[in-house]
Structure 1
């Protein structure tokens, strides 16, 4: 539908100022991430391998094993940044897809500027640098590929290749397929072309099925009760953990260094979790309390609504149109929602799960909006104003970096 609102596209200076402020914002976040947030938590995702048998997340430790033994902490320092780097490249690929690849209308450039500051944008990738971000990157590549190919045969090939990735990634992070199953199904529903009901089901099975099988294998056959043996495999070494030193805000701003022993921290704070069964995880989530979980849910719903609203307003594509496209295969979307429920039941980071839901739907909405005729219409004053306000608010208050209310911090 052609917009009847008065066009008020931003000037060249608007873009220059926006980009400069964006670069400054990224620099500030990088300072906080490197000087205040302890790297050790991200290291922990690579510190368990298959030496003690088949165990969850063991493949990540095998990747660390490619580094020489005397370069253990060098390897961790490198691998710690890989999820964030790939996630950021994925966001950049989405921005490229909706601008350069589609002709670069003014609205598409505004939408590209919005992406980094969204609740599931750069700050999330930086402060939630877990290995499940590899699944987010895989979903991004999959969604772009599905939106690009034109034939059913090509779509089936894309789904098959993606299925191989979903089969491997649960060996690095067991929840990957459950976290990004909704996004996978949404991408097939909204972005794939010319799929009959039967072809859609085959594609969905090829894309998600292998990952579900792999995740169930990890759940059923993954070793437990081995935390003591795993502890012996972790070497001693210094780790900067500023918050463990109870610093003042002034000390944090200046750059506060407080060293703890990585071996002792892992054995105390992380490895006991590897002994938990699913029922133990259920009880752990329940111990957080109804108030905290309900608060996380409300916060997450607001975060999801802000993401959808911002994308819709800046792109000019109504959220209702995206919703209608999703509802074309309502039963499949319900399956995608059901897939993520075990994560809520077994993990306390409820806000983070909502951020990932926003990512699942947001990436697909961005690519969907990028090929709608609405995005070729000149931006209105309202669109520019929404982008400006949302960018300022989300830059100052990055909503997506809080994992959940009431969740214990590993100290």
Structure 2
């Protein structure tokens, strides 16, 4: 039998119930992030500055310096949560653009509820709160801007602004342009179809040229083997690191605390990774092993497929139609794929890179659905059932938070 529309009262009850469950789920994850995940790892992205010269990620430490030495720890805590908060606000902006700005329908509301539980959703924001997430926020702003501008000139200007922002963010995390280049190219291809070939090339050059130049400058002129000097910059203070104390499950559930000196932990666990050269990075990735890397690849591809199929099912917009538009500019898509390969070659978090690919394409797909006729069609019982089962599974098993298989955990 064909799927039938759901009654109005049934739909209303479904939306209210799922919204409440979503809020409870988010509160539980936030509690876990606060109590079990040591802030020290996230702090590590902000304690390196330009005191020893021009180095990668130095701008993040300069931001910390604005708080002053007397507010060192308070500044680190604020900066630790900044990527998470901004990333969540970016997801909320996409949900608002799809479910409110472009019109109202039940499928649009369902898409808004789907976004938090996607592999690149709320859990990813909490448990992958690295500074490259700021590039994700920039991509969201750029993609939403492309849905608003109506002329080629405005698109070119938006691309130039995005390129400058991404260039600055590349000084905070050098992989930023390579991680979100695919997303920028996909956004220009799908959301700015009005561009002719010349205008498209100009937009791409302005969007990706500046951040790539910064990344090249960091590779060419950035100082290496300065870990000893960087270690001296980090202050001593007690950091709660429960997992380092090898607690039992019962201790973790009761709120187990185990403190280590942050300076000592940073210099031991983080700096050796930071100080690697390009060749050492390649060898480090290779040391993970073929089995672990292949497993991460398979897992990551499944994560990407699940993300796209979930968006397609809820919106009613076929993934193949979205893919056909991307294939309309094959060279651009090839460039986007090639750009992210150096990240895979030098970073062991292969699942994480695949989740970011899912984010790049998923955000553009979500914004693409807002103008498609299917998203305003009535909900069917089958759509609600599949959504409920799938969303609960994604919430209970947040597949996007695993960085990769075989990678060592800084302890």
Post-superposition offset of 1:147: 1.3
Which aligned pairs between 1:238-317 and structure 2 lie closer than 5 A?
Answer: 238-317=238-317
Correspondence 1:133 to 2:127: no
Match of 1:377 in 2: 377
Distance (Å, rounded) in 2 between the aligned partners of 1:387 and 1:357: 22
Counterparts of 2:333 and 2:4, CA distance in 1: 37
Q: CA deviation at 1:381?
A: 1.8
Deviation at 1:384, TM superposition (A): 1.1
| 1:250 Cα deviation after fit | 1.0
Task: Tell me the alpha carbon deviations over residues 59-96 of structure 1, each in whole angstroms, 9 at most, x when there is no partner.
Answer: 00000000120211111011000000000000000000
Partner secondary structure for residue 119 of structure 1: coil
Moved over 4 A (4+): none
Length-normalised TM-score, structure 2: 0.98
After superposition, where does 1:49-68 map in structure 2 within 5 Å?
49-68=49-68
Matches of 1:150 and 1:6, distance apart in 2 = 38
1:8 counterpart residue number:
6
Residue of structure 1 equivalent to 2:212 = 212
Q: Deviations over 1:133-191 (max 9, x none)?
A: 00000000000001111100110110010011111111000000000000000000000
> For 1:21-40, what aligned pairs fall within 5 Å after superposition?
21-40=21-40
State the SS of the aligned residue for 2:59: helix
Q: Assess if the C-alpha contact under 8 Å between 1:152 and 1:193 holds in 2.
A: no
Task: For residue 49 of structure 1, report the CA deviation from its aligned partner.
Answer: 0.1
Q: Do the aligned residues in 2 keep the contact of 1:151 with 1:193 (CA within 8 Å)?
A: no
**For residues 336 and 317 of structure 1, what CA distance do their matches in structure 2 show?**
24
Number of residues of Structure 1 aligned to a counterpart in Structure 2:
408
Deviation track 1:83-132 (CA, whole Å, cap 9, x = no partner) reads 00000000000000001111111100001100000000000010000000
Which residue number corresponds to residue 396 of structure 1?
A: 396
> Are residues 1:43 and 2:22 paired?
no
Contact 2:3-2:382 within 8 A present in 1 as well: no
1-side partners of 2:341 and 2:42: how far apart? 24
Distance of 1:271 and 1:248 partners within structure 2:
29
Match of 1:166 in 2: 166
C-alpha displacement of 1:353: 0.2
- Which runs of no fewer than 5 residues in structure 2 stay unpaired? none
For 1:91, the equivalent position in structure 2 comes to: 91
Of 398-407 and 4-13, deviating more is 4-13
1:330 CA drift (Å) = 1.1
How far apart, in 1, do the equivalents of 2:176 and 2:379 lie? Answer: 37
Once residues 272 and 85 of structure 1 are traced to their aligned partners in structure 2, the CA distance between those partners, rounded to angstroms, is 29
- Equivalent residues of 1:52, 1:229 under 8 A apart: yes
Counterpart-to-counterpart distance in 1, 2:253 and 2:189: 47
User: Which consecutive unaligned segments of at least 5 residues does structure 1 have?
Assistant: none
**Residues in 2 aligned to 1:7 and 1:21: alpha-carbon distance in whole angstroms:** 23
1:178 is matched with: 178
Partners in 2 of 1:385 and 1:216 — Cα distance?
A: 49
Distance 1:311 1:274 in 2: 37
Residue 260 of structure 2 aligns to a residue whose secondary structure is strand
Structure 2 counterpart of 1:72: 72
Deviation of 1:5 after TM superposition, in Å, equals 4.9
Query: Matched residue of 1:126: which SS?
Result: helix
C-alpha separation in 2, matches of 1:240 and 1:86: 25
TM-score (norm 1): 0.98
Alignment of 1:99-248 (within 5 A): 99-248=99-248
Counterpart-to-counterpart distance in 2, 1:255 and 1:371: 48
Q: Does the alignment pair 1:340 with 2:355? A: no
Shift of 1:8: 2.5
CA-CA distance at 1:382 after TM superposition: 2.1
- Which moved further from structure 2: 264-273 or 129-138? 264-273
Name the CA distance, whole Å, in 2 between partners of 1:386 and 1:325. 27
Contact 1:183 1:360 in 2 (8 A): yes
Name the SS of the counterpart of 1:80 in structure 2: helix
Q: Which residue of 2 aligns with 1:386?
A: 386
RMSD across aligned C-alpha pairs, in angstroms?
A: 0.9
CA contact (8 A) 2:50 2:61 kept: yes
